[in-house]
Structure 1
Amino acid sequence: MSELPLLGLAAQVSDLKANPALLHDAPRDIELHDFFMADVLGGDWRPLAREARAVLRGHGGRLGIHGPFWGLDISNPDPDVQAIVARRMDQALDVCAFLGASQMVIHSPYTLWDHHNLDHFAWRSAHEWIIANCHACLRPAVARAEALGVTVVIENVQDKDPDIRADLVRSFESRAVALSVDTGHAHFMNGVGQAPPVDFFIRRAGDLLQHVHLHDGDGNADRHWRVGDGSIPWAAVFRALSEAPRMPRLILELSDKAGVPASIARLRDLGLAR
């Protein structure tokens, strides 16, 4: 039997300082959640980043960050707003360069409204219009990410269609853009929007999948519960992951970081991950 996949975690620097064992029990991938707010990116983030480097000294896993998303629609058609989105992405890539992070998570532009209305328009370019707006917002960041060796992964949020982000990713024709699947978001959209189940999202991502956010929920809200507290079918999720061309980064993204050890133990006991 092959070795079980190693779980990583999303955390702030303060979480890692409070729980140093999470950094040293195994070379887990870390996704820092300190650098997505506008006031942080627009201010002097370097003292916090230097603190992060000190905390992560000796860390053997890969490093990523969650990029900016609050209030930032990467498909915004307004050129003035596009310039703001591009600036925030560039600032986040400054952080990646400073820290040596190799992955940055951003949010999908697609909504439930899009799913039910884009094909309503007589002009076929409704889909193409969204993609063009995303390019206007992200093209400079994608070019810089390529140069830095950073992969920008686009995670599902309100996506009902598992494939629509793949079309967006492919449109960039860049190794620096890939897919993320957020299990809790997919389960939420399955519950409230009749989207396919979580494992379908993972399977449909195919060779574009490089990142997964793991958290549990009840299908009614974006809970970010520890694994086992909700209704996600974890055996099906990890069966789909085992079929992927390569194992993506598996990042536990819990609201309560105290639940990380229990989530690791739960998946280990199920024989799914460690």
Structure 2
Amino acid sequence: MDNSRKVTPVRIEVLARITIQPGLHDLGRYVKTAQSEDFLLELMEPACPKCLDELKEYFSHYSASAPEGLVRALHGPYIDITVHTADREIREASRRRVERSLAWARHIGAPYLILHINHLPMINEAGYDRQWLSGWLDFLGRQGFGDVTVVMENMWDRTPDLMLRLVEEFGSPRLRLRLCLDVAHWNVSGKVSPDQWLSAAGRYTAYVQYGDNHGDHDADPALGRGTVDFAEVDRVLRAETPTADVMIGVGIDNGDRLGASLAFLRDCGLHPFPAATGGER
């Protein structure tokens, strides 16, 4: 008699939904990972300039290769995008790009559209911050979000202050506007601690992007290989915004960095996985 039995893997419950960034060239592998781990996808490639004139072809390819319901977030365009500029032609071109991405987010049923705020803190000219704020308020006020929540991601921001002003001054009950904390961008440019950042912005933060680097430039190593203090990030997220979705950002790789990053989070008991029950992280 064969007394062996098939062991069914136990799925570990997480505090928030985890998303990963697939590469269209290797979409099948990412889809299998998402399905086996109960992850969702953040589509990053449609944000790249080379893809912006071919979004119909991109999403046609994607929909032919992946089941419905896997997309949690679509990343909107950000390189050279300035919807707030006083230059009319550049402003209108930027707005058209973002509007098309918003339309695609609605079309594919993505709950989130991620937009970089693209504020340049090194500009000290009088009125620049107000121009940025009024430009974004004007642009967002003209949009129909549908069921999409737009989340504004920090890039070169030293503090969350201006992002908070945007959300609070926008204040529309018919449109959902929230914030995204990119941990890697914070590690390069942030001038306040994660505790200070999320103590101020946590109530508006719906999405968190995990990334690591050495504080000098935006890079994509496996999590735990840079200088981000993930134990501190873990502590603050659990306290301030435990249900925010978490994207594991390692760039488009062959699976090695993603696998190592997930193992790092699981083994150390870091958010959004269950906390470690003992020992050192």
- Name the TM tier (shorter chain): 0.7 to 0.9
Distance in 2, matches of 1:93 and 1:179, equals 16
Identify if the C-alpha distance between structure 1 residues 64 and 5 changes in structure 2 by more than 3 Å, giving closer, same or farther.
closer
Matched with 1:52 is: 62
After superposition, the C-alpha distances for 1:43-100 in whole angstroms (9 at most, x for unaligned) are 4x223213322433165x5521110111112321112222112211111022212211
Q: Could you say which residue in structure 2 is the equivalent of 1:8?
A: 19
Which deviates more from structure 2 when the two are superposed, residues 226-235 or residues 76-85?
A: 76-85
Q: Which residue of 2 aligns with 1:90?
A: 99
Between Structure 1 and Structure 2, the one with more helix by share is: 1
Distance 1:172 1:188, change over 3 A: same
Matches within 5 A, 1:173-252: 173-174=171-172, 175-190=175-190, 195-245=191-241, 247-252=243-248
Structure 1 residue runs of 5 or longer lacking an equivalent are: none
| 1:41 Cα deviation from its structure 2 partner | 2.9
* Alignment TM-score, normalising by the size of structure 1: 0.84
Task: Report the CA distance between 1:153 and its aligned residue.
Answer: 0.8
Looking at structure 1, the residues matched to 65 and 44 of structure 2 have their Cα atoms a distance apart, in angstroms, of: 14
User: How many pairs were matched up?
Assistant: 256
- SS of the residue aligned with 2:228? coil
Structure 2 unaligned residues grouped into runs of 5+: 1-12, 274-281
RMSD (Å) for aligned C-alpha atoms? 2.3
TM-superposed deviation, 1:40: 2.8
Residues 67, 105 of structure 1: 8 Å contact kept = yes
- Structure with max Cα Rg: 2
TM-score by length of 2: 0.82
From 133, 136, 148, give the equivalent of 1:134: 136
Counterpart in the other structure of 2:45: 34
Counterpart secondary structure, 1:243 = helix
Q: Deviation string for 1:2-61 (max 9, x for gaps)? A: 854443212233343234432212321311012123443334x223213322433165x5
- Separation in structure 2 between the aligned mates of residue 50 and residue 230 of structure 1, nearest angstrom: 37
Distance 1:200 1:240 in 2: 9
Q: Which amino acid aligns with 1:177?
A: L
Which amino acid in the other structure matches residue 161 of structure 1?
A: T
**Amino acid of the structure 1 residue aligned with 2:236:** A
Q: Which residue is equivalent to 2:33? A: 22
Measured in 2, the distance between the counterparts of 1:256 and 1:89 equals 23
| 1:133 partner letter | G
| 1:71 partner SS | coil
Looking at structure 1, the residues matched to 26 and 235 of structure 2 have their Cα atoms a distance apart, in angstroms, of 30
Partner of 1:152: 150
2:16 touches 2:245 (CA, 8 Å); kept in 1?
no
* Percent pairwise identity: 22
Q: CA deviation at 1:129?
A: 2.5
Deviates more, 1:7-16 or 1:179-188: 7-16
CA distance in structure 2 between the aligned counterparts of 1:214 and 1:159, rounded to whole angstroms: 16
1:260 is displaced (CA, Å) by: 0.9
Contact 1:182 1:214 in 2 (8 A): yes
For 1:255 and 1:179, how far apart are their aligned partners in 2? 21
CA contact (8 A) 2:19 2:72 kept: no
